[in-house]
């Protein structure tokens, strides 16, 4: 059994500030600014935090579009399958029209 990697104390502190911000836009942006301005935070950790915020924002966007909660595990498995199959993330329902030839 493999041990799960634990977040560094700095990362955990930033995550807690993001969670504590709740629906307060000002507190959320303060937490993001804290990540950006933390000079002791390694770039790899900063980028991981930004990716986490981006992924969570995408899930919130999907939930807003659907009007219901998104099953994160099902979404992860669907994305993993699409990546393994080499399928594009966004598919067109209708064929693309080519511009007229002149």
- With cut-offs at 50, 70 and 90, classify the pLDDT of residue 2: very low
Task: Check: pTM over 0.95? Answer yes or no.
Answer: no
What pLDDT digit, counting tens, does each position of 51-72 carry? 999 988 889 898 899 899 989 8
Alpha helices in 2-42 (DSSP H): 9-21, 25-37
What pLDDT digit, counting tens, does each position of 73-99 carry? 988 898 888 888 877 666 666 766 666
Phi/psi at 22 (nearest 5 deg)? 55, -130
Does pLDDT of 44 surpass 80?
yes
How many CA atoms, within 13 angstroms, populate the side-chain half-sphere of residue 50?
A: 11
Question: How many angstroms separate the Cα of 31 from the Cα of each of 22, 28, 42, 58, 76?
Answer: 11, 5, 17, 19, 26
């Amino acid at each position: 059994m493999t041990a799960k990697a634990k977040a560094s104390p700095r990362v955990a502190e930033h995550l807690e500030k993001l969670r504590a911000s709740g629906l307060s836009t000002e507190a959320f942006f303060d937490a993001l600014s804290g990540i950006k301005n933390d000079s002791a935070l390694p770039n790899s950790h900063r980028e991981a935090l930004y990716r986490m915020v981006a992924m969570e924002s995408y899930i919130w966007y999907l939930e807003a579009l659907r009007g219901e909660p998104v099953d994160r595990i099902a979404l992860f498995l669907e994305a993993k399958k699409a990546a393994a199959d080499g399928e594009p993330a966004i598919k067109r329902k209708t064929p693309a029209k080519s511009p007229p030839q002149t």
